[in-house]
Chains A and B, each alone.
Chain A
Amino acid sequence: MDKLDAPALRSRIETFAKAQGIGRWDLGAASSNDSSVQVDRGEAKQMKAAQRSSITVRVWNGDGLVGITSTSDLSDSGLQKALAGAHDASAFGNPDDCPAFSPLATAPLQVLEQPLHEPRGILELLTSLKDAERQLLDRHPALTTVPYNGLAERSSERIYLNSDGACRAQQLTTASVYLYARAEQAGRKPRSAGAVRLAYGAADLDLAGCITEAADRTIAHLDYAPIATGHYTCVFSPEAFLDLIGAFSSLFNARAVLDGVSLSSRSSLGQSLAVPFLSIAVNGLHPGNIGASSFDGEGTPTRRLSLVEGGVLQNFLHSEATARAFGVAPTGHAGLGAKVSVGPDWFEIGATPGAAGAALGLDRHAASGQGGAGLVLIDSLSALHAGVKASQGSFSLPFDGWLLQGGAARSIEAATVAGDIRTLLNAIVGFEGEAKVTPDGLCPHVWVEGLSITGEA
């Protein structure tokens, strides 16, 4: 990878900006090298590589208004054109909501333990993935193909610079593998499930764990049956619950609050949002967050932030502009733009220490043997882009899972779960098992009562 040269880039931008009469600017730049492979029944299906570079420049005009432009052209002419474009766009900047440099853009950064790995090369990736596919298909005769699979490695670098002298840089290597298997049995519908693993290098990927999880989950869906439509106590897997909270993260987003599209308002801080034993935090610095960023798009350091404690809303996620509007410090969750986006990085969800009311140590297997309608284990949610209405609070989502009844687990043929996020957060019964580290955060299994399940007849 051609390394981004921050001092040289600063020098070029300063020269071009000066020539265009631009005195105040900042930028985010990134470059990456990616390699990935896919296989199909023992053969390479596709091998891909990419070299990418991009830059987003933001400039302030004489009236203090902001404009931006992005480009993949880092040549001198590309940078000059980008600065000119940003300056032109600044004429349409929003005077009511004008971003400034983050006051924390030069604050110390936490040093992250992120070992840099040399790439293994695409042919080694191919050999590993072929072997993983073979091992997965050998696990059960019903496993016929692994239609979605991939093994990838990436080296990347990103920098943030501004005209006040801030300079942030981060290098990173990451690797990922996903295996999504399909199982078929005569006279039965095909079933599928998968698993994902992340690491800082391909050599560190837990391929064996990924194979086992993909196989176990897919095989566990072979014996399926329809579920009767009704209301059930549901047990969300850590991945499913994190997906749901992520889809409704506008609850915690100061940008969405200011835009009037969040269920929360300024006055929601300090108010009850959930059962009194629920804690939600974001912590991009957690060692389980593979590929964590040490700073956000505005150069603000990443940090842990409590969002909900004891069921009460504690803080919002902020950019520089939203923090200024709320009279607090930026939290390190901003993008870079004329209108700066805000978003969560990595969640930590669990019981509030010392809070009463939570049923801890729940055991779905034991509970399913006690009769009744049974428990629904929601393993993974689908179509969140279509089935979540974040500004309304409602969701209606297809899911993969099992009905736990009479001490046995049976895969659910096809079903949706529907409800309201605020109702759900107040219908949490408790937690099961240790919190699990996933790509999206840390979370145990979460029990919620009274959710509406629609089964396909």
Chain B
Amino acid sequence: MVVTLSPSSASPSGLADHFDQAWRSPLESLLGLGSAAGADLVEVFLERTDHLGVLAEQERITSVSPAFGTGAGIRVFRGERDGFVSTNDLSEAGLRRALEQALGMLGLVAPSLANPGPSGFNGLASLRDFGASKTPWLGACPTLAEATTRLLEGTDRLERHGAHLQARRGSYARDWQEVLVAASDGTFARDIRLHQSLGLTVLAADGEHRASAGRRYGSSGRPEHLAQWDVEASAQEVCTSAGTMLYSDYVEACQVPVVLANRFGGVIFHEACGHLLETTQVERGTTPFADQVGELIAHEAVTAIDEGLSEGAFGSLSMDDEGMEPQRTVLIENGVLRRFLSDRAGERRTGHERTGSGRRQSHAFAAASRMRNTYIAAGPHSPEELIASVEKGLYCKAMGGGSVGPTGQFNFAVEEGYLIEDGQLTKPVKGATLIGEAKEVMPRISMCANDLELAAGFCGSVSGSIFVTVGQPHIKVDSITVGGR
């Protein structure tokens, strides 16, 4: 197919306030030029965003931060190499300049507009419009007045339920995004995403004793999320945690069995194993599991899943940032490694088939294989059975953030912990950090309870910060290093 960027075609710069069929012609022109230049694949990602952040402290709204923007990311593949250019300039000239720059990175030269020459590009497929039914979402979100009222209700509830509170905060963020993905393999897809998160945090202080506690709640595709938020329950949970931890002792360093609570306890799998099952890690040679598909890498009690399908979950999506519909990907089944998470680049470079996991923070990042909703499946036990099975150990009720290094060493912080003594929860402790190596800890997850729950979070990695869900039932790890004092 020979295509031209015709001066008489609609100007993309006039289309920046919406993404639809009108973009077909200019995008086909760009993709055709890239293909004619010798690229194996050209992909254009267009984005419009609308963000609102609100912060309440004590009895005041202290920050309202709206932001909006547009941008494009153009990626060109040739063999296993790729060049990526991002720009805020969606004009015809701006997009062409970005394409030429990406082609130049791979030693390719865009043909002239007048004589583009032959191309292997056969035009875009019909538009798959996942966003068609989502147009009302932004208008259905809470107004600024409603958001501020709700947050002040939250900080008021904190004041009512808490003791010794030195600071009370409520925060709300609404991220709306419209994307259009077009690629020279014919991909042409549009979506609208809506993510909302809200949180309550407190700092309690009494003399030398200090404790902070917080909870975040997130959803996707639910404009009514803030209105349906159970402020009372959230405030009670946060204040109970802070009150419990205020006078607690610091944990002593030890190597013991631990029981990790459900919901955000899933950060252990996310950090210890999930990242190592992304093809970006296979490409880098930084996962110990690269050649272990079909082999036992975890305890037989462990089945782990990553999917983008759970309705309303923070990591759910109708299509990934490469235009592919997400899947339910069984990563580990009864301890056996089944599958890696893969994107376009991962498929080209490692051979692992795409899983609808190509994700990016924004147009400024090239997509990479990333997790979506990732969790360990429920097991047969009750949470009480797990705790009862531990003679001396640690119960991690609330977890903080964590990270994994290039050699598979992971760590994460325990926000609210309790000693387990003779199968019973005893005194609360704080200041614990769990550390270990993925390859060693996965076989030690020996019991899974029957109370799987998910929790919203943010994950930062090669393609920026993205919305994810972690999750698990209560699980027992037979032995792990607990960093403390």
Contacts and interface: CB of A to CB of B under 8 A. Distances in A.
Contact of A386 (B364, B413, B484): B413
A49 B62 contact: no
Interface stretch (B36-44, B282-290, B304-312): B282-290
Contact of B69 (A72, A123, A394): A72
Nearest to B166: A260
Interface in B58-96: 60-71, 80-89, 94
B98, B167, B483 interface centre (most CB from chain A within 10 Å)? B483
Interface in A305-364: 337-339
Given A51-B87, A190-B407, A89 B253 contact: no
A148 B60 contact: no
A145 B85 CA distance: 26
Contact of B55 (A189, A339, A392): A339
Given A92-B64, A452-B485, 16 more contacts: A47-B81, A50-B85, A51-B86, A51-B89, A68-B65, A73-B69, A122-B105, A180-B406, A385-B401, A393-B210, A394-B430, A396-B413, A396-B431, A396-B432, A416-B483, A457-B255
Interface string B113-138: 00000000000000000000000000
A399 to B, nearest CB: 10
A304 interface: no
B210 A456 contact: no
Interface in A366-402: 382-383, 385-387, 389, 391-394, 396-398
A124 B297 CA distance: 43
A147 B288 CA distance: 13
Contacts of B212: 389, 391-392
Given A69-B66, A73-B68, A397-B433, A383 B286 contact: no
Interface of A: 40, 43-54, 67-74, 81-82, 85-86, 88-89, 91-94, 96-97, 122-123, 144-145, 147-148, 180, 182, 189-192, 229, 259-261, 337-339, 382-383, 385-387, 389, 391-394, 396-398, 414-416, 418-419, 452-457
Contacts of B105: 44, 47, 49, 122-123
A45 B210 contact: no
Given A182-B407, A189-B407, A454-B481, A48 B64 contact: no
A167 B105 CA distance: 37
Given A189-B407, A393-B210, A46 B84 contact: yes
Interface string B199-224: 00001000000111000000000000
A143 B119 CA distance: 43
Nearest to B368: A46
B67 A97 contact: no
A93 to B, nearest CB: 8
The 5 closest A-B pairs by CB, nearest first: A416-B483, A72-B69, A454-B253, A386-B401, A47-B105
A248 B69 CA distance: 33
Contacts of B437: 189, 414
Contacts of A50: 85-87, 364
B244 to A, nearest CB: 14
Interface of B: 16, 54-55, 57, 60-71, 80-89, 94, 98, 101-102, 104-106, 144, 148, 166-167, 203, 210-212, 250, 253-255, 283-286, 364, 366, 400-403, 405-409, 411-413, 430-433, 435-437, 481-485
Contacts of A418: 250, 253, 431, 433, 483-485
Contacts of A391: 167, 203, 210, 212
Nearest to A452: B485
A126 to B, nearest CB: 8
Given A51-B89, A398-B411, A85 B366 contact: no
Given A391-B203, A418-B253, A147 B210 contact: no
B63, B71, B436 interface centre (most CB from chain A within 10 Å)? B63
Contacts of B482: 454
A97 to B, nearest CB: 7
A40, A49, A144, A191 interface centre (most CB from chain B within 10 Å)? A49
A456 B71 CA distance: 46
Contacts of A414: 409, 435-437, 481
A133 to B, nearest CB: 13
A203 to B, nearest CB: 20
Given A85-B66, A261-B167, A414-B409, A382 B403 contact: yes
9 contacts: A48-B83, A69-B67, A182-B285, A229-B254, A259-B167, A261-B203, A382-B411, A383-B401, A414-B409
Interface of chain B: mostly helix, strand, loop or mixed = strand
A182 to B, nearest CB: 6
B481 A339 contact: no
Contact of B402 (A383, A392, A416): A383
Given A191-B407, A259-B167, A338 B63 contact: yes
B84, B211, B284, B436 interface centre (most CB from chain A within 10 Å)? B284
A386 B411 contact: yes
B435 A49 contact: no
Contacts of A69: 66-68
A147 B167 contact: no
Given A46-B82, A229-B253, A94 B88 contact: no
Contacts of A45: 81, 283
Nearest to A52: B88
B74 to A, nearest CB: 10
Contacts of B481: 414, 416, 454-457
A71 B69 contact: yes
A416 B435 contact: yes
B405 A454 contact: no
A278 to B, nearest CB: 22
B284 A92 contact: no
A382 B405 contact: yes
A52 B402 contact: no
B83 A72 contact: no
A247 B142 CA distance: 35
Contacts of A260: 166-167, 203
B250 A394 contact: yes
A51 B91 CA distance: 13
A397 to B, nearest CB: 7
Contacts of A229: 253-254
Contacts of B431: 389, 394, 396, 418
Given A416-B411, A416-B435, A454-B481, A392 B62 contact: no
Contact of B66 (A70, A147, A385, A453): A70
A259 B63 contact: no
B88 A51 contact: yes
B213 to A, nearest CB: 11
B66 A92 contact: no
A148 B406 contact: yes
Contacts of A52: 86-88, 364
